Amino acid sequence: MFAAEVRGRYPDHALHWAFTAHKVRRKLAARGMRHDSVAEALSRLHDQGVTHLAVQSLHTVPGVEYHWTLDQAMVYRHPRKGFAEVGMGSPLLASETDLDRVRLGLASYIPAERRPDEAVVLVAHGTYHQGHQRYLDWEAGARKQDPLLFLGALMGRPGGAEIVGRLRQNGARRVWLLPFMSVPGHHVQVDVYGASPRSWKGLLESAGFQVMARLTGTLLHAPFRAVWMEHLEAAVASTAGPARRA
């Protein structure tokens, strides 16, 4: 879906994918599909003669993996031995404007069947990096609009036990459990909705909550894709120049 929008917006640009997660690369390899890491993709594009490159992160916050991607991309920027220009597109929650726009997008991300007395728990990936603060800043603003909305993380805080405590303090009984990750991959299917009692769904049900789930991801949601697309447009604009682009 996002790839189709990018191709529609930039029909004269080649589009290539790279994957920061080694588990994803292993799965793609097992299926016989291209599974470039960021370093492999950069090297391949350079060998193909690309001179102007825009790199768009599909991370949610500027955490560890985003900065790895940024550092690797910028290492390849060199007037003679690398790319002449490299533009880096920001993750979903980069600026204060991004935080506001994504909060507004929640209105259509949360299922319409949700009742006013039902809580919403969004589960993010999280990161052990100062960029994690972006999640907390975003949640603080979102809770001003919706006091029964909570954001937890697989890595970092708040974890599942803390969210359970908050739900109890607010008297919630029914909970909509939604991922706050770009795609509904392994983390969503196993760590959020998995059958194990250690999953977020299992934890909430063990704590006595009725859990309502919907398999989705933020990249599947048009208002959130629009934010990433705007970041890509800024990255492409920063590489403006002749020659081949990707």
Q: Coil, helix or strand for 97? A: helix
Give the alpha-carbon dihedral of 246, 33, 24, 211, to 10 degrees.
Answer: 110
pTM for the whole thing? Answer: 0.90
User: Which amino acids are annotated catalytic?
Assistant: 125
The angle formed by the CA atoms of residues 141, 145 and 148, to the nearest 5 degrees, is 100
Give pLDDT < 50 ranges for the chain: 242-246
Peptide bond before 158: cis, by omega within 30 degrees of 0?
yes
pLDDT for 29: 65
How many CB atoms sit inside 10 A of residue 216's CB?
16
Nearest to 134 by CA among 229, 63, 195: 63
pLDDT for 228: 97
pLDDT for 241: 55
